[in-house]
Amino acid sequence: MRLARRSLAALSLAIAPARAQTDPLPSWREGPRRRAILDFVAAVTTPGTADFVPPPERIATFDNDGTLWVEQPVYTQLLFARDRLRALAPTHPDWAQDALLNAALAGDMPAVLAGGSAGILRLLGLALGGLSPDAGRRLAAEWLATARDARWGRPYTALVYQPMLEVLALLRAHGFKTFIVSGGGVEFVRAFSETAYGIPPHQVVGSSFALQPGQADGRITLTMEPRVDFVDDGPGKPVGIARFIGRRPIAAFGNSDGDWHMLRYTTEGAGRRLGMIIHHDDAAREYAYDRQSHVGRLARGLDDAPARGWHVASMRQDWAHIFPGA
What pLDDT does 115 receive? 86
- 133-151 pLDDT tens trace: 999 999 999 999 999 999 9
What pLDDT does 117 receive? 85
What pLDDT does 21 receive? 60
CA torsion through residues 130, 135, 137, 140, sign? negative
Q: What angle do CA 226, 78, 70 make, to 5 degrees?
A: 140
State whether residue 312 is helix, strand or coil. strand
C-alpha–C-alpha distance, residues 123 and 106, integer Å: 13
Architecture category of domain 26-72+158-318 in CATH: 3-Layer(aba) Sandwich (3.40)
Could you say which residues of the chain have pLDDT below 50? 1-20
Q: What are the boundaries of each domain within the chain?
A: 26-72+158-318
C-alpha–C-alpha distance, residues 315 and 294, integer Å: 19
State whether residue 226 is helix, strand or coil. strand
- 231-265 pLDDT tens trace: 999 999 999 999 999 999 999 999 999 999 999 99
pTM for this entry: 0.92
What pLDDT does 5 receive? 38
